[in-house]
Amino acid sequence: MGFTEELGLLIRARYPIIYIATAEEERAETDIAACAAAQGNRALYAWDFVDGYQGNLNDAGFGKRNPLQALELVEKLPTTAPAVFVLRDFHRFLDDVAISRQLRNLARRLKAQPKTLIILSAQLTIPDELSETVTVLEFTLPDAAAIRQEVQQLLSATSTNLPPAMLEEVVRTCQGLSLERIRRVLARAIAYHGAFDPNDLDLILDEKRQSIRQTQILDYYPAKEQISDIGGLDNLKDWLLKRGAAFSEKARQYGLPHPRGLLLLGIQGTGKSLTAKAIAHHWHLPLLRLDVGRLFGGLVGESEARTRQMIQLAEALAPCVLWIDEIDKAFAGMDGRGDAGTASRVFGTFITWMAEKTSPVFVVATANNIQALPPEMLRRGRFDEIFFVGLPNQDERRAIFAVHLSRLRPHNLQSYDLDRLAYETPDFSGAEIEQIIVEAMHIGFSQNRDFTTDDIVEAASQIIPLARTAQDQIQLLQDWAAAGRVRMASRQGGLGSRIQQQSLQ
């Protein structure tokens, strides 16, 4: 059911007070006006704090700078007069005891009258005493059909014709933007070239990054990493490659559901974040990075509102990859936070969405500490698969050295003894291997020469890997994975060498 259909149903059912949270005030009011006209041509009254009521000559300016007086107009009209009242930014006055009391009094009366109050605001803030009185109605970002109609209208105004494939790419790129932003960026492109050019897709992407950045919840992350940049992790890479076309229309016709997501557990620096970036690049999907800490706000209800905003934005940008880094730190110790249950409610909203979502949002979550994850997170249905990413074995370390050295010294790769480097670096993670190569480069640069295999070995001897510094914690994690509780990302387990041997002694 669409927004206008659901709003019309609520109006016919005489829901007294409806709350619509959206930043697209103009588009929402257009839809509300169309709905009011469809419901027996009801009168529409719009109020704001600066100008009072507008659009009706008899009541123009009534309630100016007086929100309590704005509610009085509802009672002044005849009880049988059908009407819809739009109150802009009225959430700012809901904490006032007089306003709250008057709204509850009105709610009682309006159940028997054909009148509806609509609070229109960019934020969702409802005091507890009004929670049973107010009905929240979601107003989502424009879907592909609405965007396509808007784009076609703008292009036809400039006599610009795009091939169907190009038009669909523009529509897909615009998803996640408000209609106002779409109008602005297309007008900017047309003003610059005189017509829309395929190269102007970059302008849309820049506008999308700006829009997402302003939410201060999600980051639009440019993903340039490829699957080939991941050394080892063959089981994980095979799993990803099999699902490369899982978001296509052909997959829908085959009957395949959209992939849900992936949880990557393991030791720090073993390539979990790199994998998230490579997935987005390989599948040609936008990558959104969520810092869960940004979901939590200081005001009552703010955290829950931010969580809903994050979900709405991710679904508007779908198909996409939603990357949640170190999710174990975000929801660890929820019971002891002393935040009146805010963390638990945010977590509940999030995992419920993960289990029930039908939109093509592929969630990639990474975690280092399995014991800090709530058990609900590991239940089947939240993710398609859970992989353990352990320390690279010798073959994988060789592959990791090859990836880094082929990037740094592509014309001189054969001069490095990869087998020796892999043998000399047991218990090193991928991030630590990258660091010892950087250290070797410093050695060579300081002596005015290129770095060599011996420099890398020397650098490795000076760095103590995390597997030895935090041996007990890592051993516990690897024993948990080796017990068959999770799928291994590497074909040979990726449990390292010395630590595994010590556990067998």
Model confidence over 62-84: pLDDT tens digits?
999 999 999 999 989 999 999 99
Contact (CB, 8 A) for 35 and 11: yes
Query: Closest by alpha carbon to 236, among 370, 363, 378, 385?
Result: 385
First to last CA, the chain: 63
Better-scored residue on pLDDT, 284 or 462: 462
What is residue 333's predicted lDDT score, i.e. its pLDDT?
58
pLDDT band, very low/low/confident/very high, at 300 (cuts 50, 70, 90): low
292 Rama class: left (phi>0) / alpha (psi -120 to 50) / beta: alpha
What is residue 498's predicted lDDT score, i.e. its pLDDT?
42
Q: Is the pLDDT assigned to residue 452 strictly greater than 60?
A: yes
Half-sphere exposure of 434 toward its Cβ, with a 13 Å CA cutoff?
13
Q: Is the pLDDT assigned to residue 432 strictly greater than 60?
A: yes
Strand 43-48 to 83-88 pairing: parallel
Q: Is the pLDDT assigned to residue 279 strictly greater than 50?
A: yes
Q: How large is the average pLDDT for residues 45-71? A: 90
Query: Closest by alpha carbon to 77, among 35, 38, 110?
Result: 110
* CATH assignment of 394-467, among 1.10.540.10, 3.40.50.1820, 1.10.8.60, 1.25.40.10: 1.10.8.60
Separation CA 477–CA 494 (nearest Å): 12
What is residue 319's predicted lDDT score, i.e. its pLDDT?
83
The DSSP element (H or E) to which 500 belongs, if any, is helix 498-504
Lowest-confidence segment of 6-10, 110-114, 486-490, 499-503 by average pLDDT: 499-503
Better-scored residue on pLDDT, 153 or 223: 153
pLDDT tens figures, 404-431: 999 999 998 999 999 999 999 998 999 9
On whether the 227-389 domain is CATH 3.40.190.80, my answer is no
Separation CA 172–CA 458 (nearest Å): 51
Average predicted confidence (pLDDT) for the chain: 86
pLDDT tens figures, 101-143: 999 999 999 999 999 999 999 888 889 899 999 999 989 888 8
Better-scored residue on pLDDT, 117 or 247: 117
Most confident region among 135-144, 320-329, 338-347, 412-421 by mean pLDDT? 412-421
DSSP string computed for 440-482: HHHHHHHTTS---HHHHHHHHHH---HHHHTHHHHHHHHHHII
Better-scored residue on pLDDT, 160 or 130: 130
Check for a shared fold between 227-389 and 394-467: no
* Residue 426 dihedral angles phi and psi, to the nearest 5°: -65, 150
What is residue 504's predicted lDDT score, i.e. its pLDDT?
31
Question: Where along the chain do its domains lie?
Answer: 3-138, 144-215, 227-389, 394-467
Most confident region among 86-100, 138-152, 169-183, 234-248 by mean pLDDT? 86-100
* Sign, CA torsion 407/412/414/419: negative
Q: How large is the average pLDDT for residues 194-215? A: 77
pTM of the entire structure? Answer: 0.72
Query: Closest by alpha carbon to 277, among 286, 266, 269?
Result: 286
Q: Is the pLDDT assigned to residue 207 strictly greater than 90?
A: no
The DSSP element (H or E) to which 263 belongs, if any, is strand 261-266
Better-scored residue on pLDDT, 417 or 329: 417
pLDDT band, very low/low/confident/very high, at 505 (cuts 50, 70, 90): very low
Q: How large is the average pLDDT for residues 264-281? A: 89
CATH code of the region 3-138? 3.40.50.300
Separation CA 330–CA 292 (nearest Å): 6
Give me 82's structure tokens: 């059908």
Q: How large is the average pLDDT for residues 236-256? A: 86
pLDDT band, very low/low/confident/very high, at 334 (cuts 50, 70, 90): low
What is residue 10's predicted lDDT score, i.e. its pLDDT?
95
